[in-house]
Amino acid sequence: MTGAHLFVPIVLPAAAGLLALLLAKKERLCAALALLATAAGLADAGLLFGKALNFAAPWGGLGFFEFSLRLDHFSGFVLLAAAGFGLLIALYSVAFMKGRSSAGQYWAYFLITLAFVNGAALADSLIVLLFFWEGLLLTLFGMIYVGHSGAWRTAMKAFVLTGVADLCMMAGVALTIYLAGGQMAMSKIQAHPLPTGGLASLAFILLMIGATAKAGAMPFHTWIPDAAIDAPLPFMALVPAALEKLAGIYFLARITLDLYVLKPGSRLSILLMALGCVTILLPVMMALVQKNYKRLLAFHAISQVGYMILGIGTAVPIGIVGGLFHMINHAMYKSCLFLTGGSVEKQAGTADLAQLGALRRQMPITFACFFVAAASICGVPPFNGFFSKELVYDGALKAGGAWSWGWVFYAAALAGSFFTAASFLKLGHAAYFDKPKQDKSAVREAPVSMLLPMLVIAGMCLLFGVWNQLPLQKLIQPILPAGMLKGEDFSGLIPHNWWLVAGTVAALLLALANHLWGARRAGSGLGAADHIHHAPGLAGIYDAAERRVFDPYEIGMKFADAVGWVTWQVDRAIDFLYDTVTVKLTAAFVFAVRVPHTGSHAMYLAWALVGLAAIVLLLMGAV
Amino acid sequence: MGNESLLLLTVCAPLLGSLLLPLLGQISEKLRNGAALLMVAAALACAAGLLPAAIAGTPVTCRIGGLDLFQADRLAVFMALVSTLVGAIIVLYSFGYISHYQHRNEYYFMVVLFLGAMMGLVFARNLIAMYLCWEITAIVCWRLIGFFRDKNCVLKADKAFLVTVFGAVCMLLGFIMVYVQVAKVSGGTGSFDMEVIKRTLAGHHVSNWAVGLILLGIFSKSATVPLHTWLPDAGVAPSPVTALLHAAVLVKIGVYAYARLFLVTMPVSDLWQVLVPMAAAISALVSAGAALIETDLKRIIAYSTISQIAFIFLGLSMGGKGQAIGVVGGLLYILMHGISKGGLFLCAGIVEQNAKCRDITKLGGLVKVMPVTAVAFLLCAFSVMGIPPLGGFFSKYLVINGALTSGQLLVGFTFLAGAVLTILYLFRVFNLVFLGEARTDWVGQGVGEKSPTMVFSVGALAFLSVAAGLLVKWPFDFAQQAVQQMGIMQ
């Protein structure tokens, strides 16, 4: 196997995607093509996993501009995970997208997205990484755009927010290459990671903005809940739930482990941890009050990133391992949750919780998958989310070191768990247990091609929990630089810290009690969080948030308009100089010169004499 | 054919050939159209024929009347290729666009003469030859902007002419100061020959007054704030003409002259490596902001040009460690911007001609009746925004990289803000024109993409935007070789 083989994961889906774009009218052909390409992609990723390959070719000049790809353990892992989700969600989409007019385009963007993500995971040169990374903007726009005829507003929002973050990352890449003395290959910089401080800290933060925004962290996140409503649902399961988390956290880990030296307790580490905690807490509070199945999940897709950023930001091995483990766990349970949302929407005709209820009888398999995935995201033992969250908690406490300020972050993360559990109790209760508000007796279980991907992923959630040695020892722990782990192993069913388990269980029980109390008070599962929603002090904030007062996109657009208005005035003022001032001045000059031109020959002669005298005097003076 | 004849043909085929067009037009429309395209294509082919010699590194010189009038080095060949490539597509597009207006003979005469003057300017080795071609473009431009003859058009044409000629006269003064300085340094006579200037002034700085005066000429031609407002006003011209002004010829003259004069010919003080980026940053921000408010389709794209030209100036004017990266980026930017901005204007022309409206707040929903135009517009817009895999990504990255590597953080971040505004205003245009609710019943009125040649032209430019990104290696390598020949990098 040679380095050129690394083009297969990029070119294969890209070519299939372009072909699908040409055949966009023939929906079934496109679907078959996508299934074939993703299946081949998974086989190829399996083949490549665990191998180490390199490829480099000149890509323009300047001495350092190289098209270089690199396969190592980490990129192979991301490739494999992306390919797995690609195949499963492609299978799911076949039934879901059937009969939609834009299905052909959907398939094309689906495949090209996979190609770009694979490219980003395989990139060695930072510029190649940026190339694929920013390229994702195109398919992001396309996949939301095909949702329905008005979805372009959300598509543009996603494009603009992500685009701004990507431009920051572009500046970060440029600075990093400069700081590394013109070296742009990550595999080379890795040998001597850059120390932070001054310009390097700026570069680090810029790269971090790019990575965390891709993963969906605040403040570049607000397109995700909107896309949940507007985009085709499998897009949510594929991109924000799985691929973007993989890509974003992959690069964040590369920044903190390979490119820069991030020390536990340093300012940048604390900044990352704080960003993680804010990202955990605020979106989960929003999730709690949502009344739409998909929108509620979307807020969790943001909130959970916080745990990953917190874990990696701790810069201690247990936290990093936890963060990375949470990344793959989240990709699984969140895409599974979105897929259950999709089958509910497809079968019951709506994702509005107020109109759903009692689906556990008609859709038992979907419910079972929901149950497993929801238990995972809440961190119920022994599902996968439990183990990764425990590791992140442990990391947060350890990062505090001697001063033990780590408990602040731990408390924030634990509060996040409480709200997560509360909102999933509400969601499950409202969708699967509440009395249906309309007659939904005709609703049937989803078709097998949609159930199968959900079942596989739910099974994996359980597997990665009870047999966490498999992912931790085989996939996650080898990612860390050799000297960092010092032989530690974080896997195993028996928790490392019983205090943390006690804390988690307490938070879960508290959430359950809160839910039961709230549900009895409101008389339904849907209203179980109303006492928090309408709590004095919170009600106003929730109101404003729902009106998008805090949406950075809305604020940014207003700001841009204000900048536009000011510059427009400047521009008009300059134009006034040309169109009015110059014209008036010329007219005034002409007028002033015309006055003495009376037509009197004697006067002209006198001027001529005066002029002649002046010239003569001047010449005499010069001589 | 020898290289010298190729060079002469590149300049003369359009420059002198254009004089025949009105005569051919008396015989047959088709003959004249074909001849016009042929002349531009001949220039393109001849410029391509000069490539091997350029890559080999020996400049080709053409001596006329005892003067070394024209010289083709890598920089000149690069610029000539960009101009004639985009120019040829614009001429092709004109077949459809201009066919139902009057004065077609004059139109083709002026357009081909314009490209010819551009070739003369690009290959000029003598400052006076450069100035002459510069003024030919000003006159042609005046006729073309006022092409529709009504009072408003003529006023705008006068404005463009007056502003650019004011700049050009300042520039001429600057040239004379350089001449005098050459005379002083060499102790003999002065010279307008660029090679002589370069040899004589090596180790000296050209006087800052001269640089300032020449910059006035460059900025007025390249529409940089505050000498820019004639460019949006020039939007009254026929769309292929605006495309020509923005993408292929007119505004590119200024940036080319900057590279030719201040990077190759005259050593200038380091002061300008700070001042010019700052002026460019202001220009980028002011015009991008204005583009966000303006509602006339063509004026928005014109403001976009002003903003993007500032990016090119940024790349070309960097000093220090980032200079080589910046200049390569600036040259690539000329190519990428030429292709995609040409595409945007030609798309605007299709919209304007068929929907009979340029106010974006009155358009909308056109994607249904003009699907190819919409996709082409979007692809070109993505390239201008700098989104990979389109070509604009590389040029934008390199320019920003150059600025940051030179340590000009503030300027670099101002340009990042400009890049954000670019995304916003281009999306605003695209959304209001092509998406959303149609404010008029397009289908009922039979609005559609009428002319196949026009649709083919915009498709070709959109395709080139993509191809330039995927195959960036070739233009990149050549731009880099040009920068090496300019003596900026080893």
Q: What is the DSSP letter of A401?
A: G
Measured from the Cβ of residue A441, the count of other Cβ atoms closer than 10 Å reads: 9
Q: For residues A11 and A34, give the distance between their C-alpha atoms in angstroms, rounded to a whole number.
A: 14
pLDDT at residue A439 tops 80 = no
pLDDT at residue A55 tops 60 = yes
pLDDT at residue A587 tops 70 = yes
Question: Which of the residues A21, A22, A25, A65 would you substitute to probe the B interface, choosing the one with the greatest number of B C-beta atoms within 10 Å?
Answer: A65
Distance between B144 CA and the closest CA of chain A, angstroms: 20
Distance between A88 CA and the closest CA of chain B, angstroms: 27
List beta partners, residue B356: none
Averaged pLDDT for residues A433-443:
77
pLDDT at residue A594 tops 60 = yes
Distance between B352 CA and the closest CA of chain A, angstroms: 23
B416 to A570: CB separation less than 8 angstroms, yes or no: no
Instruction: Indicate the pLDDT class of residue A531, thresholds 50, 70 and 90.
Output: confident
pLDDT at B392: 92
Task: Determine the angle formed by the axes of helices B74-97 and B250-258, rounding to 10 degrees.
Answer: 170
List beta partners, residue B359: B296
Question: % helix / strand / coil in chain A, to the nearest 5?
Answer: 75, 5, 20
pLDDT < 70: residue spans in chain B: 1, 490
Q: Are A116 and A141 in contact (CB under 8 A)?
A: no
**Cβ partners under 8 Å of residue A381, min gap 6:** A465, A501, A504
What are the chain B neighbours of A179 within 8 Å (beta carbons)?
Answer: none
Q: For residues A475 and A428, give the distance between their C-alpha atoms in angstroms, rounded to a whole number.
A: 32
Among partner residues A156, A171, A563, which is closest to B400 by beta-carbon distance? A171
φ/ψ of residue A138, rounded to 5: -60, -50
Between the two ends of chain B, the Cα-to-Cα distance in Å is 32
Q: Are B345 and B304 in contact (CB under 8 A)?
A: no
pLDDT at A161: 94
The model's pLDDT over B276-295, given as tens digits with 9 standing for 90+, comes to 999 999 999 999 999 999 99
**3-state class of A185 per DSSP?**
strand
**3-state class of B67 per DSSP?**
strand
Distance between B324 CA and the closest CA of chain A, angstroms: 8
Q: For residues A49 and A480, give the distance between their C-alpha atoms in angstroms, rounded to a whole number.
A: 17
What are the chain A neighbours of B401 within 8 Å (beta carbons)?
Answer: 174, 177-178
Among partner residues A131, A160, A564, which is closest to B292 by beta-carbon distance? A564
| A553, closest residue in chain B (CA to CA) | B424
pLDDT at residue A622 tops 90 = no
Distance between A148 CA and the closest CA of chain B, angstroms: 11
The model's pLDDT over A236-267, given as tens digits with 9 standing for 90+, comes to 999 999 999 999 999 999 999 889 988 888 88
pLDDT at residue A402 tops 60 = no
Between the two ends of chain A, the Cα-to-Cα distance in Å is 90
List beta partners, residue B107: none
pLDDT at A62: 60
A174 to B477: CB separation less than 8 angstroms, yes or no: no
Q: What size, in residues, is chain A?
A: 623
How many alpha carbons lie under 13 Å from residue B288 in its C-beta half-sphere?
Answer: 28
What are the chain B neighbours of A169 within 8 Å (beta carbons)?
Answer: none
| A130, closest residue in chain B (CA to CA) | B388
Q: Where are the alpha helices (DSSP H) in A476-497?
A: 482-485
> A393-417: string of b/e by CB count within 10 Å (b at 16+)?
bbbbbbbbeeeebbeebbebbbbbb
A127 to B397: CB separation less than 8 angstroms, yes or no: yes
Amino acid at residue number B437: E
pLDDT at residue A39 tops 80 = yes
Q: Are A239 and A182 in contact (CB under 8 A)?
A: no
Measured from the Cβ of residue B104, the count of other Cβ atoms closer than 10 Å reads: 18
**Cβ partners under 8 Å of residue B266, min gap 6:** B178, B197, B198, B201, B206, B211
B419 to A574: CB separation less than 8 angstroms, yes or no: no
**Cβ partners under 8 Å of residue A39, min gap 6:** A87
How many distinct helices (H) and strands (E) make up chain A? 27, 2
Q: For residues A61 and A481, give the distance between their C-alpha atoms in angstroms, rounded to a whole number.
A: 32
Q: For residues A595 and B100, give the distance between their C-alpha atoms in angstroms, rounded to a whole number.
A: 49
| A145, closest residue in chain B (CA to CA) | B435
**3-state class of B191 per DSSP?**
coil
Q: How far is CA B403 from the centre of its chain?
A: 22
Amino acid at residue number B383: S
pLDDT at B166: 94
Q: Where are the alpha helices (DSSP H) in B98-193?
A: 104-123, 127-145, 151-186
As a whole number of Å, the CA-based R_g of chain B is 21
Distance between B290 CA and the closest CA of chain A, angstroms: 4
**Cβ partners under 8 Å of residue B479, min gap 6:** A61, B78, B328, B331, B332, B335
Q: For residues A472 and A478, give the distance between their C-alpha atoms in angstroms, rounded to a whole number.
A: 8
Q: What is the DSSP letter of A63?
A: T
Residue (of B293, B369, B304) closest to B342 by Cα position: B304
pLDDT at B67: 85
What are the chain B neighbours of A567 within 8 Å (beta carbons)?
Answer: 285-290, 293
Question: Is residue A510 within 8 angstroms of chain B, CB to CB?
Answer: no
What are the chain A neighbours of B479 within 8 Å (beta carbons)?
Answer: 61
The model's pLDDT over B381-413, given as tens digits with 9 standing for 90+, comes to 999 999 989 999 999 999 999 999 888 899 999
φ/ψ of residue B438, rounded to 5: -70, 130
Q: What angle do CA A506, A509, A513 make, to 5 degrees?
A: 135
Residue (of A346, A526, A378, A538) closest to A444 by Cα position: A346
Q: Is the peptide bond before B226 cis (omega within 30 degrees of 0)?
A: yes
Considering chain A, what is the average pLDDT of its residues?
A: 89
Q: Interface pTM (ipTM) of the complex?
A: 0.93
Q: For residues B311 and B315, give the distance between their C-alpha atoms in angstroms, rounded to a whole number.
A: 6
| Residue the block writes with tokens 């959900």 | A454
Question: Is residue A62 within 8 angstroms of chain B, CB to CB?
Answer: yes
Q: Is the peptide bond before A382 cis (omega within 30 degrees of 0)?
A: yes
**3-state class of A202 per DSSP?**
helix
Q: What size, in residues, is chain B?
A: 490
Name the token pair of A163.
Answer: 């685009």
Question: Is residue A159 within 8 angstroms of chain B, CB to CB?
Answer: yes
How many alpha carbons lie under 13 Å from residue B419 in its C-beta half-sphere?
Answer: 29
Among positive and negative, which fits the CA dihedral A180, A182, A185, A187? Answer: negative
pLDDT at A169: 95
Name the token pair of A498.
Answer: 């019983």
pLDDT at A66: 84
Question: Is residue A174 within 8 angstroms of chain B, CB to CB?
Answer: yes
Amino acid at residue number A616: V
Q: Where are the alpha helices (DSSP H) in B206-296?
A: 208-221, 230-233, 239-243, 250-258, 272-293
pLDDT at residue A403 tops 70 = no
A62 to B324: CB separation less than 8 angstroms, yes or no: yes
Distance between A143 CA and the closest CA of chain B, angstroms: 15
Averaged pLDDT for residues A149-155:
90
B289 to A61: CB separation less than 8 angstroms, yes or no: no
**3-state class of B126 per DSSP?**
strand
A577 to B226: CB separation less than 8 angstroms, yes or no: yes
Q: What angle do CA A392, A165, B365 make, to 5 degrees?
A: 125
| Residue the block writes with tokens 């597509």 | B89
* DSSP letters spanning A294-327: HHHHHHHHHHHHHHHHHHHHT-SHHHHHHHHHHH
pLDDT at A1: 76
Distance between B207 CA and the closest CA of chain A, angstroms: 26
What are the CA-CA distances from residue B233 to residues A474, B16, B156, B291 (Å)?
65, 30, 6, 13
Amino acid at residue number B457: S
Q: What angle do CA B459, B465, B471 make, to 5 degrees?
A: 125
Q: For residues A260 and A194, give the distance between their C-alpha atoms in angstroms, rounded to a whole number.
A: 5
pTM of the model: 0.93
What is the count of residue pairs from A and B with beta carbons less than 8 Å apart? 130
| A133, closest residue in chain B (CA to CA) | B388
The answer for A599, left when phi > 0, alpha when psi is -120 to 50, beta otherwise, is left
pLDDT at B488: 83
Q: Are A314 and A264 in contact (CB under 8 A)?
A: yes
Q: Are A282 and A218 in contact (CB under 8 A)?
A: yes
What are the chain A neighbours of B405 within 8 Å (beta carbons)?
Answer: 174, 178
Question: Is residue A561 within 8 angstroms of chain B, CB to CB?
Answer: yes
Among partner residues B226, B382, B480, which is closest to A138 by beta-carbon distance? B382
Averaged pLDDT for residues A19-41:
91
**Cβ partners under 8 Å of residue B127, min gap 6:** B175, B178, B179, B192, B193, B194, B197
User: Helix/strand/coil (H, E, C) string of A378-390?
Assistant: HCCCCCHHHHHHH
